[in-house]
């Protein structure tokens, strides 16, 4: 195993992610940031210098469990203080397992500002993946706003509340097109055809393939808000990896991916090689107001500038939740993967609600909205600073008679900074419970992401979780993930073993939701 050193500088810079120039948060003059590529067992060292003139920064290594290195998790006010302007911090951690990961800022809305990049881990020397492929492509997906994150933040924390709205563009590897479309010629709307030479910052990265080969597409979503669906014209995909864990391979026409998730899919280039094909991403779960993100699958030696003969694949209707549920429910662990313990030591239920606190719109869990303390939890606990955060644990459930199908009767909630404490090696079940938001007939998708661990996704269901749902849970081959979605008005059941001492965030990966407070949890070794 090797140690891989990286020297990074985070800075604001001018960039044109969607052909319109804006300020983005970049690393070493690049957007997205440089890709980290390592082998399982390697140690990664990132020497991060903050060149932002007036704000702190941290970077979280999303999906890396940080076994024994909780100080390197990169969560502001949780694992560390923000790195001040002009300062340098060393992140040092082991990438213990092959897989598709990414990294991103974890302070304020710095992820939305463009602070993200890919982290790809290959199998260790001499090891093999449980599937074969001839080549691979990496697709890091994101969404992009023209409004600065500072303006977005002010709106979210104003009274009256101002929502950020839908993204202007969807980006693939930081590239999208706002003022034109790559596929205008197929559409009846009057978007204009892009005239790109290919060397622009917003020009799509074309996927050049040869005929009759198998390619691995690594797909990760760092979106601030959008749930996405990815499809490739004429090509089916075989899903083989999720969040660094191997899956029982299954075939799909299109792939749903929520913020914080990653997948590997295999495609076989068995279509007419004299043609090119669209790869398209579109918005799910919210009424889309954003055109699809596009690139081209180019069969060499066919010219990459030859247009596909048919229009880009159409994203399933945004509110076709049945389609999304069918996809989520077809994900199973590859045979031989670690199985969950057969029983739990502790079960907590987390009700997700939208609330009001002093007139401000917030998200809360069991009626408490997390307010991060100024002193990072990890240090407070290590040094026994008892006044640094609420010592009382947050509630472990919610009133039995809470009606998840209606807006809260009392919309008011409170803030708190307590954490759930788990004894080392306890098995914890978490029931994530969705509910109606503040307005009638609204319940949103929330992709929940756990730091420092993977969890088994035991099942999904409708309405309020109850005893009769128990027997629907999958203990045989549930997938291990670090992110799992709760569908509108539904529940999702997770199980994990608290085997990695530290303080770990567990939160909805939607950036404005996170920013509107909602985060939790845990600790305690030995």
Residues that bind ligand C2O (CB under 6 A): 60, 62, 104, 106, 260, 449, 451, 505, 507, 509
Note whether 40 and 121 are within 8 A (CB): yes
Q: At its nearest, how many Å lie between ligand C2O and the CB of residue 104? A: 6
Within its chain, how far is the Cα of 485 from the centroid? 10
CB neighbourhood size of 6 (10 A) = 15
Q: At its nearest, how many Å lie between ligand C2O and the CB of residue 131? A: 26
- Residue in 264, 234, 253, 226 with CA at minimum distance from that of residue 316: 253
Find the radius of gyration of the CA atoms of the chain.
Answer: 22
Full DSSP string of 370-381 = E---SS-HHHHH
Between 104 and 175, CB nearer to ligand C2O? 104
Between 62 and 94, CB nearer to ligand C2O? 62
Q: At its nearest, how many Å lie between ligand C2O and the CB of residue 158? A: 24
Q: At its nearest, how many Å lie between ligand C2O and the CB of residue 372? A: 12
At 485, list the tokens. 């979605």
CA distance 116 to 222: 7
Q: β-strands 214-221, 135-144: how paired?
A: parallel
Between 446 and 507, CB nearer to ligand C2O? 507
List of E strands, 245-381: 245-252, 254-257, 262-268, 276-284, 293-299, 346-357, 360-365, 368-370
Between 235 and 507, CB nearer to ligand C2O? 507
Between 17 and 260, CB nearer to ligand C2O? 260
Note whether 432 and 352 are within 8 A (CB): yes
Q: Please give the residue whose beta carbon sits closest to ligand C2O in the complex.
A: 62
Q: At its nearest, how many Å lie between ligand C2O and the CB of residue 499? A: 19
Q: At its nearest, how many Å lie between ligand C2O and the CB of residue 10? A: 17
CA distance 25 to 107: 13
The dihedrals phi and psi of 450, each to the nearest 5 degrees, come to -105, 130
Largest CA distance in the chain: 68
Q: At its nearest, how many Å lie between ligand C2O and the CB of residue 481? A: 13
Q: At its nearest, how many Å lie between ligand C2O and the CB of residue 21? A: 27
Q: At its nearest, how many Å lie between ligand C2O and the CB of residue 62? A: 4
Q: At its nearest, how many Å lie between ligand C2O and the CB of residue 503? A: 12
Q: Is 136 exposed, middle or buried (0-12, 13-18, 19+ CB in 10 A)?
A: middle
The dihedrals phi and psi of 471, each to the nearest 5 degrees, come to -75, -5
Between 284 and 449, CB nearer to ligand C2O? 449
CA distance 118 to 264: 13
Between 62 and 464, CB nearer to ligand C2O? 62
Note whether 359 and 406 are within 8 A (CB): no
Note whether 334 and 241 are within 8 A (CB): no
Between 235 and 451, CB nearer to ligand C2O? 451
- Residue in 191, 142, 189, 144 with CA at minimum distance from that of residue 165: 144
Between 58 and 294, CB nearer to ligand C2O? 58
Is 322 in a helix, a strand, or coil? helix
Between 446 and 449, CB nearer to ligand C2O? 449
């Amino acid at each position: 195993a090797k140690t891989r050193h990286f020297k990074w500088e985070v800075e604001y810079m001018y960039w044109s992610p969607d052909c319109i120039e804006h300020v983005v948060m970049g690393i070493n003059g690049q957007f997205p940031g440089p890709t980290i590529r390592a082998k399982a067992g390697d140690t990664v060292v990132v020497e991060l210098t903050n060149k932002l003139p007036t704000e702190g920064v941290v970077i979280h290594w999303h999906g890396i469990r940080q076994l024994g290195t909780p100080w390197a998790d990169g969560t502001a006010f949780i694992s560390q203080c923000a790195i001040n302007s002009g300062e340098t911090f060393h992140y040092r951690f082991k990438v213990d397992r092959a897989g598709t990961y990414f990294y991103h800022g974890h302070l304020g809305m710095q992820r939305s500002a463009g602070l993200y990049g890919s982290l790809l881990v290959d199998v260790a020397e001499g090891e093999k993946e449980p599937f074969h492929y001839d080549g691979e492509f990496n697709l890091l997906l994101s969404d992009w706003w023209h409004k600065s994150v500072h303006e977005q933040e002010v709106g979210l924390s104003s009274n009256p509340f101002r929502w950020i709205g839908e993204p202007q563009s969807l980006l693939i590897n930081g590239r999208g097109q706002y003022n034109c479309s790559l596929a205008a010629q197929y559409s009846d709307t009057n978007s204009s055809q892009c005239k790109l030479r290919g060397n622009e910052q917003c020009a799509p990265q074309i996927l050049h393939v040869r005929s009759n080969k198998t390619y691995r597409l690594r797909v990760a979503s760092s979106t601030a808000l959008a749930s996405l669906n990815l499809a490739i014209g004429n090509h089916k995909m075989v899903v083989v990896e999720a969040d660094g864990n191997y899956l029982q391979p299954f075939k799909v026409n299109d792939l749903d991916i929520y913020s914080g998730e990653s997948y590997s899919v295999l495609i076989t280039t068995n279509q007419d090689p004299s043609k090119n094909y669209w790869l398209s991403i579109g918005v799910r779960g919210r009424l889309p107001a954003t055109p699809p993100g596009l690139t081209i699958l180019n069969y060499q030696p066919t010219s990459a500038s030859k247009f596909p003969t048919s229009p880009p694949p159409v994203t399933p209707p945004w509110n076709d939740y049945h389609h999304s549920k069918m996809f989520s429910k077809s994900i199973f662990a590859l045979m031989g993967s670690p199985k969950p313990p057969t029983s739990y030591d502790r079960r907590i239920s987390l009700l997700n609600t939208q609330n009001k606190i002093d007139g401000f719109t917030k998200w809360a869990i069991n009626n408490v909205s997390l307010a991060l303390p100024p002193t990072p939890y990890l240090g407070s606990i290590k040094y026994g600073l008892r006044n640094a955060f609420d010592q009382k644990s947050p509630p472990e459930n919610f009133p039995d008679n809470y009606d998840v199908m209606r807006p809260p009767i009392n919309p008011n909630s409170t803030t708190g900074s307590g954490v759930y404490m788990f004894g080392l090696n306890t098995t914890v079940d978490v029931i994530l419970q969705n509910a109606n938001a503040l307005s009638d007939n609204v319940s949103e998708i929330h992709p929940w992401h756990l730091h420092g661990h993977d969890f088994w996704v035991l099942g999904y269901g409708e309405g309020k979780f109850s005893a009769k749902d128990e027997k629907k849970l999958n203990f045989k081959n549930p997938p291990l993930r670090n992110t799992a979605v709760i569908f509108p008005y539904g529940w999702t059941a997770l199980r994990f073993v608290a085997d990695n001492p530290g303080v770990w965030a567990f939160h909805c990966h939607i950036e404005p939701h996170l920013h509107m407070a909602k985060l939790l949890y845990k600790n305690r070794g030995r």
